Amino acid sequence: DGGITQSPKYLFRKEGQNVTLSCEQNLNHDAMYWYRQDPGQGLRLIYYSQIVNDFQKGDIAEGYSVSREKKESFPLTVTSAQKNPTAFYLCASSYGLADTQYFGPGTRLTVL
């Protein structure tokens, strides 16, 4: 899991602004994921990508967007349409969708 990086570690945003979270991996994994974690909750899937130029909505995709132009990168944009964006965001990757997922260190987003 040391091959997955996320930046920044902390991010502050004003209401009404879009913000993009970075996720990079050098594990040669095909699949990548974005999860949201709120206090006392499990991880909830936002988007996932099985392969370059393909991605699918997870359980809570509203107000978020992603792209997968490179195998190594899967950025997440939190748009102003997301009603309650303050949370801990975790990126993960795996060889395939049925394989073990490894997590990045996370980005803590706070909306002011």
Region of residue 46 (phi > 0: left; psi between -120 and 50: alpha; otherwise: beta): alpha
Question: Exactly one of 40, 83, 84, 112 binds other proteins (CB under 8 A); which one?
Answer: 40
What is the separation of C-alpha 38 from the centre of its chain, rounded to a whole number of angstroms? 14
Q: What is the DSSP string of 73-101?
A: B--EEE-TT-S---EEEEEEEESSTTSPP
Instruction: Point out which span in 13-21, 63-71, 78-86, 90-98 binds other proteins (CB under 8 A).
Output: 90-98
Question: Exactly one of 11, 27, 50, 95 binds other proteins (CB under 8 A); which one?
Answer: 50
Q: How big is the chain by its Cα radius of gyration, in Å?
A: 13
Question: Exactly one of 34, 47, 48, 55 binds other proteins (CB under 8 A); which one?
Answer: 48
Cβ nearer to other proteins, comparing 15 with 54? 54
Cβ nearer to other proteins, comparing 63 with 106? 106
1 binds other proteins (CB under 8 A): yes
> The tokens 């994994």 sit on which residue?
29
27 binds other proteins (CB under 8 A): no
